[in-house]
């Protein structure tokens, strides 16, 4: 890990969410002064709230987003306000203050055609409102004039939010078979690993566009089989197709990332998704087990 975080003042927008909370914890472990800003007291669509969050900061990380992919189809303006308009305003305020911005984006900026991994030079072609507004946010930040980096992540999971592994375990507890799509391929990626990479970029003040995901690729079905095996779930895991689950928003079937660009900057190799997910599941099970009787 790059040194030099002592006394660095970082404002983390969306700082109590799944990724933001991990990032704050890691920054504080490096003796950074990391402040978490989140709803309801900090609404990034309100410029005054953004200004208050940036006051006294040396840098800002934006983990805040409108992430309900299907609801965004019915609420495009609400999604755009958070994912695009607010990001441009953040960038302009940061530029006026001379602040560095680290912004989180998504694999949903791509259409998922073919099976070639996406690198940072690939042309975006989002399929849904969520992806469109996240891409608009990337462009708004790039045009705001501040020093910045944008990190696209995918298939993230962690302890403070709704995500695929947790939902699968909850479905398994209800009994019955688990039908999981086998035609969506990417890399399950732990927010702890994302936060480590973000911390390095932040301390280096790296600029540009980066893709990050845990190493290797798997379908959603293969991920579910791994989870079931690791936790000893007895539920049958049945493969199916995305078309079997009609939803409002179209998803990219291919979310493979080429991570060579960010790997060249990181101090340690990106670990395989199986190692990260296995460690997460161990911690998750420990948290779920009831404590000893008193």
The catalytic residue positions are 130
DSSP calls for 167-210: HHHHHHHT-S-EEEESS-EE--EEHHHHHHHHHHHHHHT--EEE
CA 214 to chain centre: 12
What Å distances lie between residue 152 and 67, 99, 107, 190, 256, CA to CA?
Answer: 14, 21, 6, 14, 12
CB proximity list for 31: less than 8 A, separation 6 or greater? 5, 6, 7
Report yes or no: 139 and 209 within 8 Å, Cβ to Cβ: no
Phi, psi of 74 (to 5 degrees): -95, -15
Report yes or no: 154 and 220 within 8 Å, Cβ to Cβ: no
Starting at the edge strand found earlier in the chain, the sheet holding 9-13 runs 33-37, 9-13, 59-62, 100-106, 148-153, 208-211
The sign of the torsion formed by the CA atoms of 187, 192, 198, 204 equals negative
| Euclidean distance between CA atoms 240 and 131, whole angstroms | 24
| Euclidean distance between CA atoms 169 and 134, whole angstroms | 29
């Amino acid at each position: 890990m790059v040194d030099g975080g002592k006394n660095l003042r970082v404002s983390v927008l969306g700082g109590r969410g799944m990724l933001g909370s991990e990032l704050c914890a890691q920054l504080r472990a490096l003796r950074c002064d990391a402040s978490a800003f989140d709803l309801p007291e900090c609404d990034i669509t309100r410029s005054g709230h953004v200004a208050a969050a940036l006051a006294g900061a040396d840098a800002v990380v934006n983990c805040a987003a409108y992430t309900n992919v299907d609801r965004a189809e019915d609420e495009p303006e609400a999604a755009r306000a958070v994912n695009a308009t607010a990001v441009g305003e953040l960038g302009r305020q940061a530029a006026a203050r001379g602040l560095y911005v680290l912004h989180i984006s998504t694999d949903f900026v791509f259409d998922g055609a073919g099976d070639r991994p996406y690198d940072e030079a690939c042309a975006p072609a989002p399929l849904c409102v969520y992806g469109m507004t996240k891409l608009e946010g990337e462009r708004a930040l790039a045009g705001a004039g501040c020093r910045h980096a944008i990190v696209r992540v995918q298939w993230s999971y962690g302890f403070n939010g709704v995500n695929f592994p947790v939902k699968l375990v909850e479905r398994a507890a209800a009994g019955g078979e688990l039908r999981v799509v086998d035609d969506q391929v990417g890399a399950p990626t732990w927010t702890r690993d994302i936060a480590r990479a973000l911390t390095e970029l932040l301390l280096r003040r790296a600029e540009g566009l980066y893709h990050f995901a845990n190493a290797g690729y798997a379908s959603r079905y293969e991920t579910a089989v791994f989870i079931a095996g690791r936790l000893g779930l007895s539920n049958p895991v049945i493969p199916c197709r995305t078309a079997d689950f009609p939803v409002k928003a179209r998803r990219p079937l291919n979310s493979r990332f080429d991570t060579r660009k960010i790997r060249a900057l990181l101090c340690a190799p990106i670990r395989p998704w199986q190692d990260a997910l296995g460690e997460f599941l161990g911690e998750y099970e420990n948290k779920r087990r009831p404590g000893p009787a008193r």
